[in-house]
């Protein structure tokens, strides 16, 4: 695992190289995705059945075979071992409680002329959530996508989840039951994104698509953006631990692992002013790695994209953090509140030694769908606000029309837009 020192002359160059990640769109993938989307748009159900049979090794004859009934979702939940069922429900309950605080409300006020100004907040009518299937099946992602939509007041939540060779994941189905998914289809890839974006004979057209997926899914989401809303185009997962040296180094090592185990291209970074503590974490890594079932992925990820960085002090660590704008950020320090105001850019901030990232991933309450690849500079965690939208409200009084009409008339004439000016002038007495 590479070690850097912020006092090196070329540190900024090294840091830039460390963060560089080509999220470049593959023109070949885009091309194939465009063809699939056009076909799904033109032929609907028939096209989706064909692609699903071809790519997921299925043999469906009729679209009904690709729909999961509410009874199936419920049965999956009831089959779960008690500990899993309880953990799922406890997590869902905490996630729901947190997200309820995010709900936006309409507001309005009257100005001195009796003109009403405001904002009406409404929920989206119908959303689609994409849940990856196969090996990387994450029931927690079902909760994190569906619950905010539910809290927002979305009436219909349509889940799609591919089931390669027909293999269904009970935990995913159970999570859909717990989260209150309206309908669920065992389809995936660009064909599922197309079905949700355009609608087919069976799959209803949605207003927004959220949730992670592979390169085909990401390309398809980019392509349908505008026809429907999308959440974000996610990159590899990242953690940045900012440590003052007071947390057990084994704990920090395991927190770095829990990001690295996702993927060979996931990124785990430690920032600390204490070189001896960095040595201790490196020793913990060496000690703990051999016992990890996913040790090959972790080792590759740490070697490829990980870094242990010695910094001058905690203030400098905060500035480096703001440059990186990490998806997950642990303030693993004695007094996290003192540093918090200095952290401007991060998807989620985990404060204090007891707050492992994994607690937040599953059940603390906040969402685990977070901005990656430095996009926390300008975007937010997935939330209830992603499933609500605003309409401006303006009701100009007769008195207001006199005052505003004169201003609008001057500005409209200044822009050469006479009809705009006339529309305002018509309302003058």
Residue list 170-189, contact with a copy of itself (CB under 8 A): 171
Q: Is 362 part of any known ligand binding site? A: no
On whether 61 is known to bind a ligand per the annotation, the reply is: no
Report the residue count for the chain: 429
Closest among 298, 282, 301, 302 to 290, alpha carbons compared: 298
Q: How far is the CB of 263 from a copy of itself (least distance, A)?
A: 11
Q: Which is nearer to a copy of itself, 61 or 415 (CB)?
A: 415
Nearer to a copy of itself, 137 or 193 (CB): 137
CB of 174 to a copy of itself, least distance (A): 10
Does the annotation list 191 as a binding residue? yes
User: Which of 238, 261, 327, 357 is flagged as catalytic?
Assistant: 327
The answer to whether 310 and 333 are in contact (CB under 8 A) is: no
Is residue 330 part of the annotated active site? The answer reads no
Based on the residue annotation, tell me whether 93 is a catalytic residue of this protein.
no
Place of tokens 């970074």: 269
Restricting to residues 24-43, which ones interact with a copy of itself according to CB under 8 A?
Answer: none
Tokens linked to 51 = 């692609």
Catalytic residue among 150, 328, 330, 357: 328
Given candidates 6, 52, 140, 145, which one binds a copy of itself under the rule CB under 8 A?
A: 140
First to last CA, the chain: 76
Cβ distance to a copy of itself smaller for residue 117 or 275: 117
The answer to whether 119 and 104 have CB atoms below 8 angstroms apart is no
When asked if residue 116 is in the footprint of a copy of itself (CB under 8 A), the reply is yes
345 assigned ligand-binding residue = no
- 347 lies in the binding site for a copy of itself (CB under 8 A): yes
**Residues 373-402 within binding reach of a copy of itself (CB under 8 A):** 373, 375-381, 383, 385, 389-398, 400-401
Nearer to a copy of itself by Cβ, of 64 and 411: the residue is: 411
Residue 355 binds a copy of itself, judged by CB under 8 A: yes
- Residues of this chain, 69-108, that bind a copy of itself according to CB under 8 A: 83-84, 86-88, 90-91, 98, 101-102, 107
**Should residue 147 be labelled a site residue for a copy of itself when binding is judged by CB under 8 A?**
no
The answer to whether 214 is a known ligand-binding residue is yes
Residue selected from 54, 79, 287, 294 as contacting a copy of itself according to rule CB under 8 A: 294
Q: What are phi and psi of 242, to 5 degrees?
A: -105, 110
Instruction: Return the number of the residue (74 or 377) whose C-beta is nearest a copy of itself.
Output: 377
Active-site residues: which are they?
327-328
Which residue ranges are tagged as binding site for Zn(2+)?
259, 262, 361, 420
């Amino acid at each position: 695992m590479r070690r850097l020192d912020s006092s090196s002359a070329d540190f900024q160059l090294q840091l830039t190289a460390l963060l560089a990640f080509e999220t470049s769109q593959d023109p070949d993938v885009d091309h194939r995705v465009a063809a699939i989307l056009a076909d799904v748009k033109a032929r609907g159900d028939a096209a989706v059945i064909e692609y699903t049979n071809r790519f997921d090794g299925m043999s469906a004859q009729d679209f009904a075979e690709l729909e999961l009934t509410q009874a199936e979702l419920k049965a999956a939940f009831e089959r779960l071992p008690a500990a899993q069922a309880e953990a799922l429900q406890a997590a869902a309950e905490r996630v729901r409680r947190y997200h309820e605080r995010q709900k936006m409300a309409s507001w309005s006020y009257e100005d001195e002329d009796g003109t009403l100004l405001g904002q009406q907040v409404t929920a989206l009518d119908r959303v689609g959530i994409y849940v990856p299937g196969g090996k990387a099946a994450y029931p927690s992602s079902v909760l994190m996508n569906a619950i905010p939509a539910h809290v927002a007041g979305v009436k219909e939540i349509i889940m799609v989840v591919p089931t390669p060779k027909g293999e269904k994941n009970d935990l995913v189905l159970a999570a859909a039951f717990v989260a209150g998914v309206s309908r669920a289809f065992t389809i995936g890839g660009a064909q599922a994104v197309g079905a949700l974006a355009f609608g087919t004979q069976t799959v209803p057209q949605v207003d927004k698509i959220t949730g992670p997926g592979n390169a085909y899914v990401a390309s398809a989401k980019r392509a349908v953006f505008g026809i429907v809303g999308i959440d974000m185009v996610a990159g590899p997962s990242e953690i940045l631990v900012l440590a003052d040296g007071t947390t057990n180094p084994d704990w920090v090592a395991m927190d770095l692992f829990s990001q690295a185990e996702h993927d060979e291209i996931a990124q785990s970074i430690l920032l600390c002013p204490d070189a001896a503590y960095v040595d201790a974490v490196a020793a913990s890594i060496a000690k703990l790695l051999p016992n990890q079932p996913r040790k090959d992925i972790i080792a590759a990820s740490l070697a490829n994209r990980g870094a242990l960085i010695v910094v001058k002090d905690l203030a400098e660590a905060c500035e480096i953090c703001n440059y990186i704008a990490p998806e997950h950020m642990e303030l693993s320090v004695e007094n996290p509140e003192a540093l918090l105001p200095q952290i401007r850019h991060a998807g989620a901030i985990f404060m204090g030694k007891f707050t492992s990232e994994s607690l937040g991933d599953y059940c603390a309450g906040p969402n685990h769908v977070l901005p990656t690849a430095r996009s926390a500079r300008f975007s937010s965690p997935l939330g209830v606000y992603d499933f609500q939208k605003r309409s401006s409200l303006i009701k100009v009084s007769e008195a207001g029309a006199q005052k505003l009409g004169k201003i609008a008339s001057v500005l409209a004439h200044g822009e050469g837009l006479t009809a705009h000016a006339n529309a305002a002038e018509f309302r003058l007495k």
